[in-house]
Amino acid sequence: MSELPKQLKYATTHEWVKPESDLVVKVGITDFAQEELGDLVYIELPEVGRKLAEKEQCAVVESVKTASDLFSPVAGEVIAINEALADSPELVNEDAFGTWLFSLKIDNAADLDTLLDADAYAESIA
């Protein structure tokens, strides 16, 4: 497994969050998650404009082995999705931490403080 980027925050459900500005974050899945899933063949992303609650099921990733739900790590509104994943879901397998799934305008920046840092996430998957 690759080194966990220290600048990201992590959910126990294996999503990462990268702050882009005060209230905008990018969300993806961790390298651990993509390794467990195997080769991704399809990703269903939330619609732009959808309001998500923290821990709400919002997306699905399908691999050759299984399908898995993804959850919003924080509450907010989906403001963008990574369109490239419609044709190339394997980008997540190639670079899990460099491939975002969707962007959120979050409701409360303090919600980011409830997520794990890299060390705590590493302990949770050890």
Per-residue model confidence as pLDDT tens digits over 76-101: 999 999 999 999 999 999 999 999 99
Helices (H), 13-113: 31-37, 90-94
- Tens of pLDDT, residue by residue over 11-55, are 999 999 999 998 999 999 999 999 999 999 999 999 999 999 999
Does the domain at 9-107 match CATH 2.40.50.100? Answer given as yes
2 confidence band (pLDDT: 50, 70, 90): low
User: CB-based contacts of 104: which residues, under 8 Å, 6+ apart?
Assistant: 24, 25, 27, 52, 72, 74, 76, 77, 78, 79
Identify any residues that bridge with 78 across adjacent strands, giving them in sequence order.
Answer: 104
Tell me the whole-structure pTM to 2 decimals. 0.95
Find tokens 């975002």 and name the residue.
Answer: 100
Q: What is the DSSP letter of 119?
A: H
| Domain boundary assignment for the chain | 9-107
| Residue 110 burial class via C-beta count within 10 angstroms: exposed 0-12, middle 13-18, buried 19 and up | exposed
- For 17, the token pair is 């969050």
